[in-house]
Amino acid sequence: VVALGFTEWQQGWLQAELDAMKHEDKAFHLEGTDGRVKGALQGLLPAAAAAAAQPQPGAAAAPAAAATATVAAAEQTYQEWLAKLDSPSSAAKAGHKFILQQQQPASQPGDCGPKILNHRPQTATSTLPVALVYPRMGELADQLRTDSTHQPPSRRDIQFGLSLCHDMSAAFDTEEKRTEAVQALLRAYLGDAFQIVVAKRGEQCADLTITHSSLPDSFPLALCEVKNEPGQAGDSWLQSSLYYAGLVREQQRKHQGQAFAWPVLLLEVVGPLLRISALVFTTRVVCEPLTPLLNLLDLHLHQPDQVMAVVRAMAAFRCTLHSMAQDAAHGGLPPVRCITSMAPRHASLPLPCHLAQHVAGSEAVRVKELVPGSSRLLFLVEEGPEVEGHTRYLVKYTRSYGASVHRAWAAAGLAPQLLRLELLPGGWLAVTLQYLALEDGWVGLNAMLECRLRGGSTQQARVGEGRQPQQRTAQPPSVPAAGSSQRPGPAAAMSVAEVRAQCRALTQDEWADLFAHIEGQVRHAHAVRVPVDNGGAGANAGAPVHSAQAQAPHAAASSAATAAAAAAATAAPSSPGGCGVHGDMRPPNILLQLEPGGTLAATTPKVMVIDFDWAGVEGTARYPPFISNRVRWPAGVQPGELLDHTHDVALLRAELEPTSGHTYSWAADSSEPTLEEALVEQLGLGR
């Protein structure tokens, strides 16, 4: 602490914070090597600095107040940045400098990091996709697909697309003339219900602002930024993001310093190019493209698909504007700061709109993000609305899910219950799962391996002893009763200390026995016949369910067609299938149930498999395009190749067995959590 430059008062504050973490079993965050301790303490520095702003000598800040100060310090810094914004047009002309600034690490306590989350650089990324912040943005993306079930573009849409491509392919003397041409086209296309406001000279706003006649003039639905030619007058994407930041600042002034704003669409016309993006505000301004840059060229005779891409994009743009206007008129815009949390440390965590609506009205509900700040969108809900008899469950957001394999393995007692599968706009699925808690003995295998790696075994097997492996009687896994909130667990609660003790008590031979038991359970899972999920379509039946297969019903809009599609995708499987394959059978995706007061050597722990994102029926499902290059995949595992059950076993063995005389180091692999992180992230320990 002294080496990090903390003052004497800050040292006292940190001691109080660390004592509170220890009391809550969080002190394990500070163990380890290679800078883990330093990094953890630096993570507390912003809160210490915020608390030190009003020091009280001789007394440390209360942990809860200090944790809240962490959030307050970052938000205050961001609001100060909003208030000091330079001209967006000037910043856009030197866009590379802005991006270079975003690449810089935090320079001082309370630094809120990248100011605009627009994926430039890669660290400037929102963990919450815009489709989960506001489902209308996801609907727009859905309508762009050629296989979309939405109404196809009308003759009016096609004529507008042709006119837009024809007119924008021309050269204009000035940006003002191109802007006038875009305004005239949009006014005729959108109709009298929408108003298009042109920016006055010197005014700090987008070139065109689109509002609806039923809404106040200060309620924009879309911003339109026009550049005469590519490379002229700066970066329109960055410039529009900064204009939106100005809207956030205005709302901050109107609402007593609380920064928030409604979502808007962004339409860029840069010479003969067009792009549609979403602008939302969570804890930062987020800009996410919904289309690539599209050519505004008259190619309908040479390459009609390019012109139809423009037609579909603008038809979706117009449709989404109407939906947003209806939402705004009826108070249906998402609660952009709808927050409910179990820990003050994450009190400003924005929730996905789907989850916020799900828990709305439940006064006792508590929601905790299990892996804060990462792309793993996994939330623990406690005292929430009942789902299949459960009030404590996990809600996961993912792009695909092997529901048929999960259901079959859960019925065999080899996976937690899949309680609900919902199709959401924008290519997302909401998966509600039974929660396997640490206090009931459930521990991740990767956490146990990390414990083994750090602590070793208390008894080493003697070489050449010729010891016979302990005989384990593997009973078929018990199936939880319908409606039970938890699997039947031990009478006493499991603790982290006991997990460590049981793991460190094992000899190398006993570890080998345990690994053999786990492999046996995986082989038992492969023997379970998996019916093809009704959500599968055609040749892809039995593959993971993708939300692209159907449009999702949600609070803002639904129809008989979308409801039927959702029912088909979430119905119980019925048709014959084959061997289920997990596809990612690594230790982080395997849980074991330990018994308090027992020993791993004398008991046969129950085994559960989790994370069925890639799972599917053998011979049908394929590996996704993006797979980690940090994993030692077995031969035959390649993007787009068919899943094979032998890959599951080979991958598990590769992760468990030493290779070339050394043991794989989980601590050295930044792609996997350590023991402490695994317990907190996967088992919800950090409550």
DSSP classification of residue 350: P
**pLDDT score of 463 more than 80:** no
pLDDT given for residue 11 in this prediction: 59
- Contact of 640 with 419, CB cutoff 8 Å: no
Q: Which of 258, 240, 236 is nearest to 249 (CA)?
A: 258
Highest mean pLDDT among 21-30, 255-264, 374-383: 374-383
Among 94-108, 200-214, 327-341, 663-677, which is the least confidently predicted range? 663-677
Q: How confident is the model at residue 366 (pLDDT cuts 50, 70, 90)?
A: confident
Q: 3-state SS string over 231-273?
A: CCCCCHHHHHHHHHHHHHHHHHHHCCCCCCCCCEEEEEEECCE
pLDDT in tens, 2-19: 555 555 545 555 665 565
Tokens of 18: 């660390």
In this structure, are strands 377-382 and 393-398 parallel, antiparallel, or unpaired?
antiparallel
Q: What is the DSSP string of 313-346?
A: HHHHHHHHHHHHHHHHHTT-S--TT----SSGGG
CA–CA distance, 339 with 347 (Å, rounded to integer): 7
**pLDDT score of 404 more than 80:** yes
Q: How confident is the model at residue 221 (pLDDT cuts 50, 70, 90)?
A: very high
Measured at the CA of 322, the angle between CA 318 and CA 327, to 5 degrees, comes to 145
In which residue are the tokens 């190619």 written? 299
117, 220, 359, 573 from 419: Cα distances, Å: 34, 39, 16, 14
Average pLDDT over residues 182-189: 98
pLDDT in tens, 137-183: 999 999 998 776 778 899 999 999 999 999 999 999 999 999 999 99
Tokens of 110: 């309370």
Amino acid at 522: V
Q: How confident is the model at residue 563 (pLDDT cuts 50, 70, 90)?
A: very low
DSSP classification of residue 200: P
Q: Which of 483, 524, 681, 502 is nearest to 601 (CA)?
A: 502
pLDDT given for residue 435 in this prediction: 95
Among 109-118, 306-315, 380-389, 454-463, which is the least confidently predicted range? 454-463
pLDDT given for residue 41 in this prediction: 60
**pLDDT score of 458 more than 70:** no
pLDDT given for residue 548 in this prediction: 47
Highest mean pLDDT among 256-260, 308-312, 603-607: 308-312
Q: Which of 651, 402, 434 is nearest to 532 (CA)?
A: 402
pLDDT given for residue 158 in this prediction: 97
pLDDT in tens, 35-89: 455 555 655 544 444 443 333 333 333 444 444 555 556 666 777 777 777 788 8
**pLDDT score of 595 more than 90:** no
- Contact of 227 with 206, CB cutoff 8 Å: no
pLDDT given for residue 1 in this prediction: 55
In this structure, are strands 285-289 and 116-117 parallel, antiparallel, or unpaired?
parallel
**pLDDT score of 318 more than 80:** yes
pLDDT given for residue 617 in this prediction: 96
CA–CA distance, 495 with 90 (Å, rounded to integer): 57
Average pLDDT over residues 600-627: 93
Average pLDDT of the residues of the chain: 76
Q: How confident is the model at residue 469 (pLDDT cuts 50, 70, 90)?
A: very low
Interacting residues of 259 by C-beta distance below 8 A, sequence separation 6+: 75, 78, 79, 82, 248, 249, 251, 252, 281
**pLDDT score of 494 more than 50:** yes
Beta bridge partners of 280: 286
Return the CATH architecture of domain 338-460+483-687: Orthogonal Bundle (1.10)
Spans of all domains in the chain: 8-98, 114-329, 338-460+483-687
Average pLDDT over residues 25-32: 46
Highest mean pLDDT among 346-350, 477-481, 603-607: 603-607
pLDDT given for residue 659 in this prediction: 47
By CB neighbour count within 10 A (0-12 exposed, 13-18 middle, 19+ buried), where does 410 fall? buried
pLDDT given for residue 234 in this prediction: 85
Higher pLDDT, 95 or 42: 95
Higher pLDDT, 367 or 69: 367
Tokens of 476: 């078929």
pLDDT given for residue 522 in this prediction: 97
- Percentage with pLDDT > 70 across the chain: 66
**pLDDT score of 564 more than 70:** no
**pLDDT score of 106 more than 60:** no
Tokens of 147: 């296989």
Q: How confident is the model at residue 256 (pLDDT cuts 50, 70, 90)?
A: low
**pLDDT score of 671 more than 80:** no
Among 91-100, 166-175, 283-292, which is the least confidently predicted range? 91-100
pLDDT in tens, 420-453: 999 999 999 999 999 999 888 999 998 888 888 7
Average pLDDT over residues 575-599: 88
Q: How confident is the model at residue 600 (pLDDT cuts 50, 70, 90)?
A: confident
Query: What's the pTM?
Result: 0.77
- Percentage with pLDDT > 90 across the chain: 41
